[in-house]
Amino acid sequence: MNSFFRYARRSFSSSAKAYPKTFDKILIANRGEISRRVIKTCRKMGIQTVCVYSDADRHSMFVREADESYRIGPPPTNKSYLDMNKIMEVVTKTGAQAVHPGYGFLSENKLFQKMLADNDVSFIGPPGPAITAMGDKLQSKLLAEKAKVSMVPGYLGAIKNDKEVIKISNEIGYPVMIKASAGGGGKGMRTAYNDKEAVEGFRLSKQEALAAFGDDTIIIEKYIEEPRHIEFQLLGDQHGNYVYLPERECSVQRRNQKVIEEAPSMLLDPETRHKMGTQAVDLARACGYYSTGTVEFLVDKNLGFYFLEMNTRLQVEHPITEEITGVDLVEEMIKIAAGHPLDFTQDDIKINGHSIEMRVYAEDPSRNFLPSIGFLKKYQEPTKHENIRIDTGVQEGSEISMYYDPMISKTITWGQTRDEALELMKEALNEYVIEGVVDNCGFGLSICNNEAFAKGVYDTSFIPTYYPEGFHGETLTADDHHIIAITASQLKNIHESENASLGFTPKSFEKIFVTIDDTDYQVDVNPLTQEYTVGVVGEDETTTISMKDFSYKHNVLVNFRTKEKEHGRRDHTLQFTGVSNELDYNWVYKGTRLATRVYEENQFSLKKHMAPPKVIDYGKVVMAPMPGAIIAVSVKVGDTVEIGQELLTMEAMKMQNLIKSERSGVISAINIKEGDAVPVDAVLIELE
């Protein structure tokens, strides 16, 4: 069964398998990569697909790939993807017999499920009562407690005001987690270590919850320190059959949102896995659940585990479960919704290998992971490989819009061992070519190279612990500089040969100078042997490096192999991200962005006469760290502010962000007001 499942999942596009009768036509009430994912399974099952789209998505890949596509409104979600009436109109118009909600948007909306049921349209997901019970954190915890699921200490009533927040938080004991009862995806969630943070977190969580879910009910529970976030995928049919699938580890998170997931977890032993999976199934039975769902737990270092929440939908990270089991979860959802029983049992589910998923986002890890919007001027995915899966909704030229989640793709790798999957992930992240927006590939690569992560010894504090100031690139060594210097020399000569083909006088330099981080390197090139001798200008010590198998793809991606006395044979991948002028060459190497200056000998002799780059002091202004909308301004002109004082609140990608002062001073100008939309780096406030 094990090998069959895995091979079958690899054959997504195959129509050779016989599928039971389900639906003739399914509408997908979502967008982007998850819409494409559902289309792929529907196509292999012989089911027609209908997509809906907003104006912002009119050129998207999923719109073209569906059998039918219909516009439902302008970009804001409340006027498009959350507008149940408009979606229902398309369902009626097209004769779709079922709706797959994907994740997010209406996927856990009990009113939408009821609207479909009232119109004899199947909802490809759980029944309404289960959505109600599990979709609300407060009710789900009460039900979980009744089902004897292990619980986190906390207060299961709704919190009314600041005074109550402080009282309950102190009774539970800091630190506490303050979160929206109707929440998910990290929204409406704050950790507090004292009374001040509790009150602030309560206010922000209520605001975010009301904006995102239309419900500002807040609950408080004990924050388990050094926890690992482990979740169990389950499947249940309408005939009372249930299975749990191997767990996923989701402990690498920023802003309470997952970044890297893997399956299975390195922490669990078979006994704990069975206990947790069994409790997940018990909870599903208790609420009459069917379809796919995910029960999330916090697990401490002693393997004590505590119920966190249940997500009544397909999860973003579902591919890694598919990779190690071979079960097509979307297929199972469709068959269950059509009334078919599961055709496998718990004994059939085995763990085959290891899988890792990295969420590639348009976000800036150096700016607290704030979103980056814009057009993908260049977008090239990693080299195709049978064990690398890319789930994406974008292509070169696509727009990363301010209206939606800034995910670019999900990169999924599989290996017989964790080490194999991890090495493949490193290769994949190294090969992504993304220009036009800031991305987190370098950050993901850094995580994969982190010693603790490589050993599987980490918890949900991983990012705050190892990246307390965000990710600003790795610190490159002298050896790294040598590799960059010889690569720059090779490209310098390639560019000169390209100029010759345009009619310019041909040149080939055998002595090239490269400036990296204020250090000048001399590179002597032997064009016959492809040997490069590199050293710091003015110093006697040099290193000789042989270069082989040099390739330069998409005018960006550089791959080659080197041989040197100290390190032996090594493979290298760099990205050349363009030139600012004839001298300035820009790179990404080991996830780090850096600029170099590349001179031929005559140019280098004039370097001392060149003006240094101009340094601009931005110390007296507060700039927008991301594009977004101004929710509130907390100061006025003439106010004296201190370091850390709240200045304003911005909303971006449905998350509210406090902007605080990084220096003391007097407010001299406020250039924005509540309701303004601002671009990244806009000057918001000026200080004297």
Residue 403 gets which letter from DSSP?
A: T
Q: Which residues pair with 113 in a beta bridge?
A: none
Residue 258 and residue 359 in contact, taking contact as beta carbons nearer than 8 Å: yes
- List the beta strands (DSSP E) in 135-227: 154-155, 176-184, 187-192, 218-222
Cα–Cα distance between 202 and 191 in angstroms, integer?
A: 10
Print the SS3 string covering 56-81.
Answer: HHCCCHHHHHCCEEEEEECCCHHHCC
Q: Which residues pair with 593 in a beta bridge?
A: 588
Bond into 264 cis (ω within 30): yes
Bond into 101 cis (ω within 30): no
Cα–Cα distance between 158 and 166 in angstroms, integer?
A: 14
Cα–Cα distance between 88 and 109 in angstroms, integer?
A: 14
Q: Are strands 511-516 and 592-600 parallel, antiparallel or unpaired?
A: antiparallel
Cα–Cα distance between 345 and 362 in angstroms, integer?
A: 40
Q: Which residues pair with 69 in a beta bridge?
A: 51
Name the helix (H) or strand (E) containing 262: strand 257-263
Residues 6+ apart with CB under 8 A from 610: none
Query: For the chain, percent helix, then strand, then coil, each to nearest 5?
Result: 30, 35, 35
- List the beta strands (DSSP E) in 113-214: 122-123, 154-155, 176-184, 187-192
Cα–Cα distance between 97 and 119 in angstroms, integer?
A: 10
Which residue numbers are catalytic? 313
Sign of the torsion angle spanned by Cα atoms 83, 85, 86, 88: positive
Residue 521 and residue 537 in contact, taking contact as beta carbons nearer than 8 Å: yes
Reference 684, options 630, 607, 603; nearest CA is 630
The two structure tokens encoding residue 114:
């009821």
Residue 486 and residue 534 in contact, taking contact as beta carbons nearer than 8 Å: yes
